[in-house]
């Protein structure tokens, strides 16, 4: 494995401590997570170990004058020699935040892997542009719909639910992340049923559709199961990345035979990002790492719904999915939870054109049914594109009018 001798990857931490000498603490991290000990080493050993030694890049102390206990913190950036770890995400994460994650009130808030490290990852196969190309939709946000309920349904019920969503003109439909292999809707049968419903809907709407089948099973069977799903007609995969690990996603994304977009579900992310004091920040977890590992779409809690993530953090996730600073293709941000047509102006205003408007209840809860729910979303998107308010557009578009009556319009 060739590494240039002098490339470093960076990690930034927020460390809360009322009394710590932060500069000393930073030095302890740089040494402790690399060569282990430094001061006790003889000079000859130091010379040999120097290239493996972590470096303190910056220590930025925040000490409000009237600080209450627990408010004093520092943002510390450490550079880790690429020489120390192999080019895979588990090795990177264990290096920068393995043991350290258990060392008091410390949160990993940013990462900047070296270009050498990043070059090992193919990233998203399709990315924003590729997904748009598959659908032939280049001039508006995409609309995604989610199954309302999945467990205990037989194939006929599942197919009908799929068909109704698809008839509304949505671009993407995803399985529920809690749908696993089961006797009522086994993988091949489920995919065949939904793919045939997609074809039926396409004849009615003239619109292409990507169906993200939930990819499940034991880790070492994932590739086989992905290929089974694709052979049965799946043209997308949904993946619970955090339950399996980023490396599983990277392996799937790099496999030339798994030639469909992958949507990353944020299941379990709440175990990592919400605390100010512990864990891994949402932009690192659901933004940078998902994109580097190869997610074409990354779902995360919207700032508008029931599962709340602060808007600043939300937009930072989006930035990391879309920034040109990474060599990997860009990934679609999919702010999710609590989305209804009345939020579309806000979503498009906050997230710009490259966003997926993702709805469950906002489609299925429409008084006219799921097909009308999908149409209401499409009409809301069209209204904004035409420079009209939703209320103006709703005068001539019944599905949108009914949706606004049901959920209202949010402007902030």
Assigned domain for 62 exists = yes
Same domain, yes or no, for 203 and 344?
yes
Domain CATH for 294:
3.20.20.110
Percent of the chain with pLDDT over 90: 73
Same domain, yes or no, for 78 and 192?
no
Of 118, 142, 159, the last residue of a domain is 118
Assigned domain for 3 exists = no
Assigned domain for 63 exists = yes
Binned at pLDDT 50, 70 and 90, residue 36 comes out as confident
Of 118, 142, 161, the last residue of a domain is 118
**Structural domains of the chain, count:** 2
Enumerate the active-site residues: 99
Nearest-CA neighbor of 215 among 225, 203, 224, 205?
225
Assigned domain for 371 exists = yes
Assigned domain for 183 exists = yes
Same domain, yes or no, for 73 and 205?
no
Domain CATH for 66:
3.30.70.150
Same domain, yes or no, for 186 and 89?
no
Same domain, yes or no, for 247 and 306?
yes
Binned at pLDDT 50, 70 and 90, residue 38 comes out as low
- The string of pLDDT tens digits covering residues 349-363 is 999 999 999 988 889
Mean pLDDT value of segment 123-131: 98
Query: What is the model's pLDDT at position 340?
Result: 93
Same domain, yes or no, for 69 and 155?
no
Same domain, yes or no, for 58 and 192?
no
d(CA 168, CA 126): 25
Cβ neighbours of 99 (radius 10 Å): 11
The set of residues, in sequence order, having a beta carbon less than 8 Å from that of 186 and lying 6+ positions away, is none
- Give yes or no for a contact between 211 and 195, defined as CB atoms under 8 angstroms apart: yes
156: helix, strand or coil: helix
Assigned domain for 2 exists = no
- The string of pLDDT tens digits covering residues 368-379 is 999 999 999 999
Assigned domain for 1 exists = no
Same domain, yes or no, for 90 and 131?
no
d(CA 72, CA 133): 49
Same domain, yes or no, for 363 and 322?
yes
- The string of pLDDT tens digits covering residues 224-275 is 999 999 999 999 999 999 999 999 999 999 999 999 999 999 999 999 999 9
The average confidence (pLDDT) of the chain is: 91
Same domain, yes or no, for 181 and 225?
yes
Assigned domain for 272 exists = yes
Same domain, yes or no, for 194 and 245?
yes
Threshold 0.95, pTM exceeds: no
Of 118, 151, 181, the last residue of a domain is 118
407: helix, strand or coil: helix
Same domain, yes or no, for 308 and 188?
yes
Query: Residue 346's domain spans which residues?
Result: 127-407
């Amino acid at each position: 494995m060739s590494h240039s001798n002098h490339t470093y990857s960076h990690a930034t931490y927020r460390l809360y401590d009322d009394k710590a000498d932060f500069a000393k603490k930073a030095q302890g991290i740089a040494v402790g997570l690399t060569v282990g000990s430094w001061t006790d080493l003889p000079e000859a050993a130091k010379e040999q170990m120097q290239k493996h030694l972590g470096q303190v890049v910056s220590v930025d102390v925040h000490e409000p004058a009237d600080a209450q206990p627990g408010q004093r913190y520092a943002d510390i950036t450490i550079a880790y020699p690429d020489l120390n770890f192999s080019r895979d995400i588990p090795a990177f994460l264990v290096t920068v935040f393995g043991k350290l994650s258990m060392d008091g009130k410390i949160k990993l808030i940013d990462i900047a892997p070296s270009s050498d490290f990043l070059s090992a990852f193919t990233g998203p196969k399709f990315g924003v542009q590729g997904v748009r190309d598959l659908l032939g939709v280049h001039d508006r946000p995409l609309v995604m719909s989610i199954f309302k309920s999945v467990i205990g349904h037989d194939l006929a019920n599942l197919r009908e639910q799929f068909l109704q969503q698809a008839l509304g003109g949505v671009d993407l439909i995803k399985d529920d992340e809690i749908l696993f292999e089961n006797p009522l809707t086994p993988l091949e049968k489920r995919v065949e049923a939904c793919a045939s419903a997609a074809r039926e809907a396409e004849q009615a709407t003239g619109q292409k559709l990507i169906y993200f089948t939930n990819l499940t099973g034991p880790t070492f069977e994932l590739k086989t199961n992905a290929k089974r799903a694709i052979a049965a007609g799946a043209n997308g995969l949904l993946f619970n990345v955090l339950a399996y690990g980023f490396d599983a996603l990277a392996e799937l994304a790099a496999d030339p035979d798994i030639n469909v977009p992958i949507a990353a579900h944020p299941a379990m992310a709440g175990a990592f990002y919400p605390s100010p004091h512990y864990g891994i920040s949402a932009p690192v977890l659901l933004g940078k790492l998902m994109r580097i590992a190869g997610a074409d779409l990354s779902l995360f809690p919207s700032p508008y719904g029931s599962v709340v993530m602060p808007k600043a953090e939300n937009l930072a996730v989006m930035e990391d999915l879309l920034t040109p600073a990474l060599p990997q293709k860009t990934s679609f941000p999919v702010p999710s939870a609590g989305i209804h047509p009345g939020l579309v102006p806000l979503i498009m205003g906050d997230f710009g054109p490259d966003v997926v408007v993702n709805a469950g209840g906002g489609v299925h809860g429409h008084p006219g049914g799921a097909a009308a729910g999908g149409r209401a979303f499409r009409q809301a998107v069209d209204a904004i594109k035409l420079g009209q308010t939703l209320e103006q557009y709703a005068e001539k578009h019944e599905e949108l009018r009914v949706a606004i009556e049901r959920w209202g319009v949010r402007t902030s």
